[in-house]
Amino acid sequence: AQSVTQLDSHVSVSEGTPVLLRCNYSSSYSPSLFWYVQHPNKGLQLLLKYTSAATLVKGINGFEAEFKKSETSFHLTKPSAHMSDAAEYFCVVRDNYGQNFVFGPGTRLSVLP
């Protein structure tokens, strides 16, 4: 079975400083991994995805994530936080059979002026 752990339920950074949102997964096989962002009372928007190509994945809005198989991690980073980045972020793994998307518990990012 797949599972996703997001180690921080809440991360707070100052505007202009780097962002690191941590994600670890468990999977029997090479998974597909995704990061989604959700603004309050909104649906989810895909930031980026890893699908066994390049291990460093670049997404929208300056976000990127690196797949590290040895650490079973897929941490999300951004060099410089913007106020509009404040939202809930979900790390997601897709299971071996290509059906369900398994969500992590989410990390709420706050950006302070």
Strands 73-78 and 19-21, bridge-based pairing: antiparallel
94 binds another protein (CB under 8 A): yes
Report the distance separating Cα 34 and Cα 63, nearest Å: 12
Report the distance separating Cα 104 and Cα 94, nearest Å: 11
Exactly one of 65, 106, 109, 111 binds another protein (CB under 8 A); that residue is 106
Nearest approach, Cβ of residue 54 and another protein (Å):
13
Nearer to another protein, 29 or 113 (CB): 29
Site for another protein in 10-39 (CB under 8 A): 31-32, 34, 36
Nearer to another protein, 15 or 103 (CB): 103
57 binds another protein (CB under 8 A): no
Report the distance separating Cα 56 and Cα 74, nearest Å: 9
Exactly one of 18, 69, 100, 112 binds another protein (CB under 8 A); that residue is 100
Sign of the CA dihedral with 76 first, then 91, 36, and 105 last: negative
Length of the chain in residues, anyone?
A: 113
CB 92 within 8 A of CB 36: yes
Binding site for another protein (CB under 8 A): 31-32, 34, 36, 41-46, 49, 51-52, 90, 94, 96-101, 103-106, 108
